[in-house]
C-alpha cells in the first residue's frame, strides 16, 4: 500500500481537539498524519495531560513519506494568535482556527494531502470575532469553489444524508425544491459509487410530513415536489425508494436493503443515527473535490485537558478517510 498523507485539524484550541490529536499519536497509523496546529499548543496540552508525545515539525518543504512512529505526531506549526486556556473561549484565536482549515483544505487541493480530518470548531466564538462562519461544510465549499455540498453522517450499518442542514424548522419546507433535492440526491449517489465503491447505491428517501403526507391530507410537498423529483431521478438511473414515512423508514425491514437514507432536514435523520452510533460515527462532506471527514461531536470545553475524552469518533473519521481515498491510488 502506498502511504498517503492526511491533514488533521484540531479545531477549537480551548476544546478537546488538541487532546484527541495527542491521544491518537499513541497509536500506529498506516499513513503519514500531519496535525495542522500550533506546536506550542500541543506541547502545553501534552504537559497538562501528562502525555509523552514526540512532536515532529514538518513543512511543505519536508513532507514525510512514512507514518510517524507510535508515540509521535507530525505537526505543521500554525501559530496561535494568543495563548489558549482549556475550557475558555477566546475570539482572538478564531483566525487561527480558520487558518488551519485553509492550510489543510488548500493542501488537499494542491495534492499534498489525500484528505483532511477535522476535530470540532466552535461556530459561536468565530462569529463573535466578526467572521461570518456557519460551519466546516460551508467554509470548505467556499474554499474549493463548490456550489453544492451534502452533509452525511455514518456509523456502522447506517448512513444518513441531508437535503437541508442548519435551517430553522419553519424554513425547511420552502427550502425543499425539486432542484435542491435533485442536486443532493445526485451528489449522494455519485459519492457512494465513486468514494465508497458501491456499484449501484440504493437510497431510501424520507417524506417531509408525518406519514409522508398521508396522500396529501398532512401536507402536499410529497405530491407536488418530492415524488416528481424522485421519478425524474429514477429515469436517470438512480435507485431511490420513497418518499417513505420517517417514523417507519428507520427500521430493519427497510435499512437492511439500503446503502443510505436521504432525510429532508437535520433533526429528522440525525437523532436516529446518533442514538445508534454516538461516539463511533463520522461526518462526511460529500460533493467536494477533496475528501473531508469529521467527528460527530462538539468541542466539549468542560473536558479539555482532563484526560476524560474518547477518541472513538475521530478514529472512525480517520478510517473513513482512508477508505474513501483508498479507491484512488
pLDDT at position 131, please?
Answer: 94
* Polymer length of the chain: 329
Give the Cα separation of 203 and 197 in Å (integer). 15
Least confident of 1-10, 90-99, 317-326: 1-10
Q: Which band of pLDDT confidence, cut at 50, 70 and 90, is reported for residue 137?
A: confident
Question: Alpha-carbon Rg of the chain, whole angstroms?
Answer: 20
Alpha carbon distance 113, 65 (integer Å): 11
Indicate the angle between helix axes 17-24 and 312-325, nearest 10 degrees: 70
Q: Is 328 annotated as a binding residue?
A: no
**Domains of the chain, start order:** 6-146+288-324 (3.40.718.10), 150-274 (3.40.718.10)
Q: 45 near 22, Cβ under 8 Å?
A: yes
Percentage of the chain beyond pLDDT 90 is: 90
> Is 80 exceeded by the pLDDT of residue 167?
yes
Question: Please, what is the average pLDDT of the chain?
Answer: 94
Please state the rounded mean pLDDT for residues 216-228: 97
**Is pLDDT at 21 greater than 70 in this prediction?**
yes
Q: What are phi and psi of 6, to 5 degrees?
A: -130, 140
Give residue-wise pLDDT tens across range 169-196.
999 999 999 999 999 999 999 999 999 9
Q: State yes or no: 257 annotated in a binding site.
A: no
2 is in an annotated binding site: no
Please enumerate in sequence order all residues whose Cβ is within 8 A of that of 11, keeping only pairs 6 or more positions apart, or say none: 17, 97, 118, 119, 120, 121, 122, 299
Phi, psi of 316 (to 5 degrees): -65, -40
287 Ramachandran zone, left/alpha/beta (phi>0; psi -120 to 50):
left
In this structure, the number of other CB atoms found within 10 A of the CB of residue 27 comes to: 12
Would the pTM of this model clear 0.85, i.e. be above it?
yes
More confident residue, 166 or 66: 66
Residue range 97-118: mean pLDDT, rounded = 97
According to the annotation, is 166 in a ligand binding site? Answer: yes
Write the DSSP symbol of residue 162: E
Decide: helix, strand or coil at residue 37: strand
Q: Is the Cβ–Cβ distance between 204 and 242 less than 8 Å?
A: yes
Q: What is the tens place of the pLDDT at every residue in 279-292?
A: 889 999 999 999 99
Q: What is the pLDDT of residue 242?
A: 96
Task: Give the residue carrying C-alpha cell 455514518.
Answer: 154
How do 282-286 and 292-294 pair as beta strands?
Answer: antiparallel
Contact between 9 and 106 (Cβ < 8 Å): no
Task: For residue 136, say whether it is annotated as part of any ligand binding site.
Answer: yes
Reply yes or no on whether the pLDDT at 307 is more than 80. yes
Rounded to the nearest 10 degrees, the angle between the axes of helix 227-235 and helix 178-194 is: 40
- Pick the closest to residue 195 from 293, 271, 106 (CA basis): 293
Find how far residue 129's CA is from the centre of its chain. Answer: 23
The pLDDT score that the predictor gives to residue 327 is: 58
142-165 pLDDT per residue, tens: 999 999 899 999 998 899 999 998
Check residue 134 and give its pLDDT: 83
Give me the phi and psi of 266, to 5 degrees please.
-50, -55
Cell, residue 243: 418518499
Is the predicted pLDDT of residue 253 greater than 80, yes or no? Answer: yes
* Residue 283 marked ligand-binding: yes
Determine what percent of the chain is predicted with pLDDT higher than 70.
Answer: 98
Q: Please list the residues that pair with 153 across neighbouring strands.
A: 160, 283
Residue 195 is labelled as binding a ligand: no
Does the annotation place 211 within a ligand binding site?
yes
What gap in Å lies between CA 11 and CA 126, rounded to an integer?
A: 11
Q: Residue 280: what pLDDT?
A: 87
Query: Nine-digit cell at 170?
Result: 419553519
Query: Is the pLDDT assigned to residue 226 strictly greater than 60?
Result: yes
pLDDT band at 329 (very low <50, low <70, confident <90, very high): very low
pLDDT bracket for residue 296 (50, 70, 90)? confident
Amino acid at each position: 500500500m502506498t502511504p498517503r498523507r492526511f491533514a488533521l485539524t484540531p479545531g477549537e484550541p480551548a476544546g478537546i481537539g488538541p487532546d484527541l490529536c495527542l491521544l491518537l499519536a499513541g497509536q500506529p497509523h498506516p499513513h503519514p498524519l500531519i496535525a495542522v496546529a500550533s506546536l506550542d499548543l500541543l506541547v502545553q496540552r501534552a504537559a497538562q495531560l501528562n502525555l509523552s508525545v514526540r512532536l515532529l515539525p514538518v513543512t511543505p518543504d519536508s513532507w514525510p513519506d512514512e507514518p510517524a512512529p507510535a508515540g509521535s505526531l507530525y505537526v505543521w506549526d500554525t501559530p496561535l494568535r494568543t495563548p489558549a486556556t482549556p475550557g475558555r473561549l477566546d475570539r482572538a484565536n478564531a483566525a487561527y482556527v480558520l487558518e488551519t482549515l485553509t492550510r489543510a483544505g488548500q493542501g488537499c487541493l494542491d495534492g499534498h494531502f489525500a484528505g483532511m480530518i477535522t476535530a470540532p470548531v466552535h461556530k459561536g466564538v468565530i462569529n463573535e470575532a466578526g467572521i461570518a462562519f456557519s460551519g466546516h461544510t460551508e467554509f470548505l465549499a467556499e474554499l474549493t469553489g463548490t456550489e453544492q455540498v451534502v452533509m452525511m453522517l455514518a456509523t456502522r450499518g447506517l448512513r444518513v444524508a441531508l437535503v437541508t442542514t442548519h435551517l430553522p424548522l419553519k424554513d425547511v419546507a420552502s427550502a425543499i425544491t425539486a432542484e435542491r433535492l435533485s442536486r443532493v440526491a445526485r451528489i449522494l449517489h455519485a459519492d457512494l459509487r465513486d468514494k465508497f465503491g458501491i456499484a449501484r447505491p440504493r437510497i431510501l428517501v424520507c417524506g417531509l410530513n408525518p406519514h409522508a403526507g398521508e396522500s396529501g391530507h398532512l401536507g402536499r410537498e410529497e405530491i407536488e415536489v418530492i415524488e416528481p423529483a424522485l421519478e425524474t431521478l429514477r429515469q436517470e438511473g438512480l435507485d431511490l425508494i420513497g418518499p417513505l414515512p420517517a417514523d417507519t423508514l428507520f427500521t430493519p425491514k427497510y435499512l437492511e436493503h439500503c446503502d443510505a437514507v436521504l432525510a429532508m432536514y437535520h433533526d429528522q435523520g440525525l437523532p436516529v443515527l446518533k442514538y445508534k452510533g454516538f461516539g463511533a460515527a463520522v461526518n462526511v462532506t460529500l460533493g467536494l473535490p477533496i475528501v473531508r471527514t469529521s467527528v460527530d461531536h462538539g468541542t466539549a470545553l468542560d473536558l479539555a485537558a482532563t484526560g476524560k475524552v474518547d477518541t472513538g469518533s475521530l478514529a472512525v473519521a480517520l478510517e473513513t478517510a482512508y477508505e474513501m481515498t483508498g479507491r484512488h491510488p
